[in-house]
Amino acid sequence: MFDRIVIATDGSESVSRAVDVALDLATKFDAEVHALYVVDAGEVESAPERVREEMRDALREDGEAALDAVEGTADTHVVTAVREGHPASVIGEYAREQDADVVATGTRGRHGENRFLIGSVAERVVRTCPVPVLTVRQLDESEAGGESDPVGTES
């Protein structure tokens, strides 16, 4: 059912459960795993011009660290990529390029902690991605204690 899974990560703690769920699916289906970090071009462009390159470099380093974390969690080889652009668009383009069966992402990232249900990037990915998107909600402490199935049965 799943031959190729793309994990979209921003390195935030709230994405960790999405990584675990995606890696569990990959194991169950013997799927190829890709992990993608997108340097947000809008974030770079909104910075003062004198610090843009430093910011781009820092975000790329953050991306490498986020991808290293995915690789460190995986029991299988992970193809990693850092791209720059508008995250939702880049995630969709990457999924299409890789002929992905599904994109896995968290519902809240570094900037979306106060959104009602789903972060703005995750919401755009769900709306625009050319392949199915699996969004995985980070459990709060009261829910996480009794979790035995990483996919869960949330209502």
Q: What is the pTM of this model?
A: 0.84
Is beta strand 78-85 parallel, antiparallel or unpaired with respect to 102-106?
Answer: unpaired
Q: Which residue has the higher pLDDT, 140 or 8?
A: 8
**Residue written as tokens 């610090």?**
51
Q: Give the DSSP letter string of 2-62.
A: -SEEEEE--S-GGGHHHHHHHHHHHHHHT-EEEEEEEEEHHHHHTS-GGGHHHHHHHHHHH
43-96 per-position pLDDT tens digit: 999 999 999 999 999 999 999 999 999 999 999 999 999 999 999 999 999 999
Q: Is the per-residue pLDDT at 118 higher than 60?
A: no
Q: What is the pLDDT of residue 152?
A: 46
* 3-state secondary structure (DSSP) of residue 142: helix
pLDDT at 141: 59
Banded pLDDT at 124 (limits 50, 70, 90): very high
Kindly list the structural domains of the chain, giving each domain's residue range(s) and its CATH number in brackets, ordered by start.
Answer: 4-140 (3.40.50.620)
Dist. CA 26–CA 41, nearest whole Å: 30
